[in-house]
Amino acid sequence: MQNILITGGLGYIGSKIASLYFNDSNNNVMVIDNHVNLKTISELKSNGVKFENLDILDRNKLKPFVKKADIIFHLAGVTSVPRTKNQESDKLNKQIFETATVGTRNILEEMKDSTKIIFPSTHVVFEGLKDIRFDIDEEYETSSVLVYAESKLQNEVDISEYCSNFIILRLGSVHGLNTITTRYNIMVNLFAQIAANDGTINLHGGGVQLKSLVSIEDVALCFKYFAENHKISNEKFHCVSENMTVKEVAELCKKYSKKIKINITDEEIPNFGYALSNKKLLNAGFKFKNTVEDSIKDIIYNERLSND
């Protein structure tokens, strides 16, 4: 019997991971989050997952849960983050960086040496690249611009230096339906929601930006895969299943919603994007099961069902 701790477990990814352990008699699963969503909490508890409302910055309250854990899925952090320099503010940047760095160090300093921590970093650690790059592997030099990416890189350093059993997953842009809670401010999900309502998709800069993408289902399965794989530790992987342009995603939406309009604009874009390689992850034995097209179909179907 293992004790599994999921920080930020009420969120889009955290709740999806928790759902993989519903009514699991082989594990004790605890979710902690500084937010309260009564519907989500009720669903977790009704399926055998415990919940505690606390902030990872509160080390004293956090300590007993971390000390007990054999596996930690550490997803807690600020998720509503700026996407451009113009959207940044000193107050928000401070909140992002403090939650990421101090909160993570609280966990690292309190966890047992034997505990395995699985941490989601991000593909945007390469956001500063000026030219298109393909097949970016885990050893490629990072290029952060915004505080969110900088905080993730600091997390990578801290985890690598102070933890003896870890997996770092640099996630692509996560997409797909989560029946517990779905984020619609993500490109694929937003486009699919617009398509379900026969709206207009705006493609800034013609939609030529290249995006690294991965389904929420595969992200959750990847976390669980490394929690159960005792042969692989202290490694960093790019968790990306597909690399597509924004325009290609829009055209997939058009395939399932003929009435949508695709509006091409000449609005400036930050960069032309980049493509991460998943070769290392595939060589580690993980297999992806879901595609962008699967997510688009699921969201369109769910949205239309809800609207009926």
What tens-digit pLDDT sequence spans the chain (308 residues)? 899 999 999 999 999 999 999 999 999 999 999 999 999 999 999 999 999 999 999 999 999 999 999 999 999 988 776 566 667 677 877 878 888 999 999 999 999 999 999 999 999 999 999 889 999 999 999 999 888 999 999 999 999 999 999 999 999 999 999 999 899 999 999 999 999 999 999 998 889 999 999 999 999 999 999 999 999 999 999 999 999 999 999 999 999 999 999 999 888 777 789 999 999 999 999 999 999 999 999 999 999 887 76
Q: Are 193 and 184 in contact, with CB atoms under 8 Å apart?
A: yes
Residue 245 placed within a domain: no
Angle ∠(162,168,174) on CA atoms, nearest 5: 145
Residue 293 placed within a domain: no
Residues, the chain, total?
Answer: 308
Q: Are 295 and 173 in contact, with CB atoms under 8 Å apart?
A: no
List the structure tokens of 73: 């899925």
**What is the reported pLDDT for 82?**
58
Residue 149 placed within a domain: yes
Query: Domain of 89?
Result: 2-175+216-240
How many structural domains is the chain composed of?
Answer: 1
Q: Model's pTM, two decimal places? A: 0.95
**Tokens 């993500």 -> residue:** 186
Residue 222 placed within a domain: yes
**What is the reported pLDDT for 1?**
81
Residue 200 placed within a domain: no
Residue 72 placed within a domain: yes
Closest C-alpha among 287, 282, 212, 294 to residue 253 = 294
**What is the reported pLDDT for 84?**
64
Residue 192 placed within a domain: no
Residue 251 placed within a domain: no
Residues 6+ apart with CB under 8 A from 272: 131, 132, 208, 209, 210
Q: In terms of DSSP bridges, do strands 116-122 and 71-74 run parallel, antiparallel, or are they unpaired?
A: parallel
* CATH number reported for the structural domain that contains residue 95 in this entry: 3.40.50.720
**What is the reported pLDDT for 90?**
76
Rounded to an integer, what distance in angstroms lies between the CA atom of residue 244 and that of residue 207? 10
Rounded to an integer, what distance in angstroms lies between the CA atom of residue 169 and that of residue 117? 11
